[in-house]
Chain A
Amino acid sequence: MAKLDLVMFEEEFSQLQEIIGRLQVDSSSKVVFLVDKNGQQIAASGDVRSIDATSLASLTAGNVAATDGLAKLIGEKEFSLLFHEGEKDNLHISIVGKRGILVVIFDQNSSLALVRLRVKKASRELQEIFEKVEQRAQGAASESSKFESPFSEITDEDIDKLFGD
């Protein structure tokens, strides 16, 4: 079964956060998002409040998935980079490892060349962390979970409460 949950701990999360924070400053961009290929936001940096981050994550993943489909149709493995040019703001989308998508939003204070350069370096660092997370997930799956999951005691009442019953 291809279902391995993505479990992110504090330490990895702060590493990811630090890398994209640095990328946002170094590339002079407005916002940087790291999202998962399934459409969930992992981390963000910059003027995040100006954007509906949840919709952005889901639409980006949809966009990447559709472009992936197009790539396969013409015999490519994937298109690792998408660029959308607007009147003021531009969107640079790139694939990180197997499951990450890096989204950089920038305006005339930066340039495509600078963004590409900085993204390249940040991607390598992000990929290392993703690999670590992946390895741990596989290790946990084969050793039947070393750490105590907080969800091992979810009850029917917990679920009823979620739905306000």
Chain B
Amino acid sequence: MTFINYASREINCKIVYYGPGLCGKTTNIQWIHEQASPEKRGKLVSLATETDRTLFFDFLPLDMGTVKGFKVRFHLYTVPGQVFYDASRKLILRGCDGVIFVADSQRARLEANIESIANLATNLRDNGFDIRTIPYVLQLNKRDMPSAAPVAEMERLLRFRNEPMLEAVANKGTGVIETLKACARQILMDLQRN
């Protein structure tokens, strides 16, 4: 749910990074935080366990500049990927404007990716959204791993609506901004249509 404030001339959009445990959701937004200029980025908030596993969510506000005289601000959230945190994942999707699905390219995680997309569909539906229509991007992360499955195979298994699909190595920053941009484009184009 985009928040458009005509008084302060601001548009706020919420983007959620989703995906199985250890796929690199937090790494994506950490990289964005590291490379964004200090005047653009807000504070990165991480609610994580002692071993740096996401417990509730990570949150990063980003000031992107202006469109049509309105300041555009993205609120980036990650969900906890581990299966047993499902209740938390559902809460974080509340009121989101777009979803980035971070898939783990390692062959051993292919099933976990499929399960996580199914879980995303259910949790979106419970929040009143449709996975087939909400702004959505598929990121194939960890492309540098020796055990990475071929892109064509991942596409066949995970891509279901002709959504933008990007290859990434999030810990090196490859494909991270491009992924965010693909999602932002869909959200802003949605605003145009509505």
Contact = CB atoms under 8 A, between A and B. Distances in A.
Interface of A: 1-10, 13-14, 36-40, 42, 52, 54-55, 58-59, 62, 65-66, 68-69, 145, 149-154, 156, 158-159, 161-163
Interface of B: 1-8, 11-12, 14, 42-43, 45, 47, 56-57, 59, 61, 64-65, 67-70, 72, 75, 77, 87-88, 91-92, 94-96, 127-130, 133, 177, 181, 184-185, 188-189, 191-192, 194
Contacts, number: 130
A5 B3 contact: yes
Dominant secondary structure at the B interface: mixed
Contacts of B127: 2
Interface centre among A3, A52, A159 (most CB of B within 10 A): A3
Nearest to A36: B3
Contacts of A149: 191, 194
Contacts of A59: 45, 59
Nearest to B56: A62
Contact of A5 (B2, B7, B70): B2
B88 to A, nearest CB: 7
Contact of B14 (A39, A145, A151, A152): A39
Contact of B94 (A37, A42, A52): A37
